Chain A
Amino acid sequence: MIETTVFAMQVLLLVMGCLFFAVGTLGLFRFSDTLSRIHALTKVDNLGLGFIVLALLPLAPSLAGGLKTVLIWAAALAASATSAHLIARAVHVRPEPPEAKESADD
């Protein structure tokens, strides 16, 4: 009985995770400016990742395995927040990047 409940919860969490990742991708298309797209990527995708991590926790082989999953999640959260801030800072400091630079790098 408990197993079935846990399984149902896991499936629900996985579906929620998929939905949020899909909405995050939708955000890349619907938002027209870079900064708004960062909003979509950081907040929505992190929520999606959170649901996936919660769904995977009951599958962890040991306590250490579960803690490792949570640590990876925390690292991804910190990485996402830092990246968001850095890109936002770059766009804020220099809103129109030089086009010549772009073609030279490609």
Chain B
Amino acid sequence: MTLILNAVAAFLLLTLLIALIRIWRGPAPADRMLASQLFGTTGVALLLLLAHAQAMPALMDVALTLAVLSVLAIVAFVTRVVRIDRPSSGRKAGDQPETHHD
């Protein structure tokens, strides 16, 4: 099983690298930010596989952190690079960003 897990992990790493080459070519900054999303899914899958293949349960915590951080990277990008916080098209004064509370 360990061998199979390692093989699958290697394959996922390959798809991740190929995708990164595509993302590196851009051209728009938003295209490049897809890398963060890529790490949020492929990276998490890769780390979960390695946690079992290498018998290192701590890698599962790394996977969780990566998933959470990938969103923060996007939030930072969206507010700083694209400047979405600045109203661009006549938005209403009472308009507020969607917030989550349960």
Q: Are B40 and A52 in contact (CB under 8 A)?
A: no
Across the A-B interface, the 7 shortest Cβ-Cβ residue pairs: A45-B41, A90-B82, A76-B67, A25-B19, A25-B15, A83-B74, A52-B45
- Contact partners of B57 in chain A: CB under 8 A: 61, 65
- Contact partners of B4 in chain A: CB under 8 A: 11, 14
Chain A residues in contact with chain B, CB under 8 A? 7, 10-11, 14, 17-18, 21-22, 24-25, 28-29, 34, 37-38, 41-42, 45-46, 48-49, 52-53, 56, 59, 61, 65, 68-69, 71-72, 75-76, 79-80, 82-84, 86-87, 89-91, 93-94, 96-97, 101-102, 105
A22 to B12, CA, bound (A): 8
- Residue-by-residue, is B40-56 near A (CB-CB < 8 Å gives 1, otherwise 0)? 11101100110010000
Query: Which residue of chain B has its CB nearest to the CB of A60?
Result: B52
A56 to B63, CA, bound (A): 14
Q: Are A21 and B12 in contact (CB under 8 A)?
A: yes
- Residue-by-residue, is B1-45 near A (CB-CB < 8 Å gives 1, otherwise 0)? 100110010011001101100110010111101101110111011
- Contact partners of A68 in chain B: CB under 8 A: 60
A52 to B81, CA, bound (A): 34
- Contact partners of B26 in chain A: CB under 8 A: 102
A41 to B38, CA, bound (A): 7
- Residue-by-residue, is B81-98 near A (CB-CB < 8 Å gives 1, otherwise 0)? 111100011000000000
A41-B34, A52-B48, A65-B57 given; name 17 further pairs at CB < 8 Å: A7-B1, A10-B1, A24-B41, A28-B22, A41-B37, A41-B38, A46-B41, A48-B45, A69-B60, A72-B48, A72-B60, A76-B41, A76-B63, A86-B75, A94-B88, A97-B81, A105-B81
Q: Are B34 and A38 in contact (CB under 8 A)?
A: yes
Q: Are B15 and A24 in contact (CB under 8 A)?
A: yes
